[in-house]
Amino acid sequence: MKIDLNTLTIRKVHDALIKGEYSAVDLARSYLSEIEMKNKDLNAYLEVYDDVLEQAISADKRIKNGNATLLTGIPVAVKDNILIKGRRAGSASKILEGYTASYDATVISKLKDAGVVFLGRTNMDEFAMGGSTENSAFGTSKNPHDISRVPGGSSGGSAVAVASNMALVALGSDTGGSIRQPASFCGLVGLKPTYGSVSRHGLMAMASSLDVIGSIAKTVEDAQIIFDCIKGRDPMDSTSIDLETKPSTLSPKPLVVGVPRAFTESEGIDKSVIENFKSSLEILKKQGFEVVDVSLPTIEYSLAVYYIIMPAEASTNLSRFDAVKYGFHKAGKNLLEDYELSRGEGFGKEVRRRIILGTHVLSSGYYDAYYNKAVSAREIIIEDFAKVFKSVDVIATPTTPSPAFKIGEKSDNPLAMYLADIFTVSANIASIPAISVPSGFAEVEGKKLPLGLQFIAPSGGEETLFALSKNFLKK
């Protein structure tokens, strides 16, 4: 049967499945048909699982038996750095060629228990290192709004899958904006939860003090439903917590929205982004929210701090990929040459760059000059956010400094690429939750390119983010 995928939400699908309007198998076939038509051009999926219909049959049995949850039968795409037992996983890297996961990530176990249907694994920047999905060893994903442009990254494939109706929702990971930036570029909702609120067990680590798993969806409620399923403390992840979620307080007193004006209107921000952001703030005012300027004097240093801490942690985490135990292997004359050849050819250019940077800032003579100073600066940034949150409920910024850029436009300029994270990295540095929601479009070369609005809340403030975002999107 023909199902209109454009307007589907998790709740709408659940109601339809319970009423018998269509089956989980019908729904899965509809998404598989879209994947067959579109994926060759958009390159969102690295692999579509061969047992999708079998999973859907199991979901239908569960529905028939009255054991369905809200997520039973929901088609989900999974970023290639999240492990599913018995399935390939490779972080879009050549060095993990042929690797099959030996266990489920905790988030996967929770979604399996809920009865979701996993469609496949999605493309990404190699080991989550990038903001465009151009760093994948398996080719660039394309933005559905303009295939000459990037979809963002590193969770670009997940965003493309949802934006093009090749999945209803998708899992991604966010280290410095890797969920929110592609959500913004593709006109979607992207949630980066509070650090530790979602287990990282089974997520291939990039920067362990920054990484968090979240969701990309078409609606705020869908992102919320996924978060409610996957959150919670996990004995397999010592950094995970049982989040003390603060209740939303949209009424009777209106929320106070803080705007770090000097930062959001600084040099280098695209004019269309600034105008859209101002319009978004006016919408919030009309909805009864109080919008005030705030001072975050150290937020401008977040990007510099991030690009010291992240490579340092990444270089350490990626040292385990030695091409000896599994994955790509290139034989040399001795063990050292084995390592050099295998890692030199197995890792892509951007991954090698960040490993070198990370190794440098951790090396003798530079550790104190760079890494320790970055850690100290991080604490000051955290303190600044805490001070501001004493007077405001949330902070608003644009999600990105520009609409989606052309494929290849920033490839030879790493610094320009890194600056695309300028608004998103601070939430990871401060370990606090943030969400990107669609806020309009920019007309560029005859194409309407999506723009995003970012809300940042204190630790545990997800419910406020959800409530405020839903209210904003009612506009």
What count of other Cβ atoms lies within 10 Å of the Cβ of residue 415?
8
Length of the chain: 475
Q: Is 352 left (phi over 0), alpha (psi -120 to 50) or beta?
A: alpha
For the segment 396-425, the average pLDDT, to the nearest whole number, is 94
Which residue type does 379 have? E
Question: Rounded to an integer, what distance in angstroms lies between the CA atom of residue 244 and that of residue 232?
Answer: 10
Q: Is 139 left (phi over 0), alpha (psi -120 to 50) or beta?
A: left
For the segment 36-40, the average pLDDT, to the nearest whole number, is 98
Higher pLDDT, 163 or 334: 163
For the segment 360-377, the average pLDDT, to the nearest whole number, is 94
Span 276-302, pLDDT tens digits: 999 999 999 999 999 999 999 999 999
178, 184, 315, 439: the active-site residue: 178
Per-residue pLDDT at 95 exceeds 70: yes
Which range among 100-109, 258-267, 332-341 shows the weakest confidence by mean pLDDT? 332-341
pLDDT band with cut points at 50, 70 and 90 for residue 358: very high
Residue 154 annotated among the catalytic residues of the structure:
yes
Nearest to 306 by CA among 409, 429, 139: 429
Span 84-94, pLDDT tens digits: 999 999 999 99
pLDDT band with cut points at 50, 70 and 90 for residue 305: very high
Higher pLDDT, 339 or 202: 202
Contact 462, 232 (CB under 8 A): no
The torsion angle over the Cα atoms of residues 159, 162, 167 and 168, rounded to 10 degrees, is 120
pLDDT band with cut points at 50, 70 and 90 for residue 475: low
Span 207-266, pLDDT tens digits: 999 999 999 999 999 999 999 999 999 999 999 999 876 666 666 678 999 999 999 988
Residue 402 annotated among the catalytic residues of the structure:
no
pLDDT band with cut points at 50, 70 and 90 for residue 365: confident
30, 91, 132, 154: the active-site residue: 154
Residue 258 half-sphere exposure toward CB, CA atoms < 13 A: 20
38, 79, 192, 231: the active-site residue: 79
pTM of the model: 0.96
- The mean pLDDT value of the chain amounts to 95
Per-residue pLDDT at 325 exceeds 90: no
Which range among 38-47, 126-135, 344-353, 394-403 shows the weakest confidence by mean pLDDT? 344-353
Q: What is the pLDDT of residue 247?
A: 63
Span 182-216, pLDDT tens digits: 999 999 999 999 999 999 999 999 999 999 999 99
Per-residue pLDDT at 372 exceeds 80: yes
Per-residue pLDDT at 416 exceeds 80: yes
The β-bridge relationship of strands 394-398 and 256-259 is parallel
Q: What is the pLDDT of residue 248?
A: 62
pLDDT band with cut points at 50, 70 and 90 for residue 324: confident
Q: What is the pLDDT of residue 326?
A: 78
Contact 157, 45 (CB under 8 A): yes
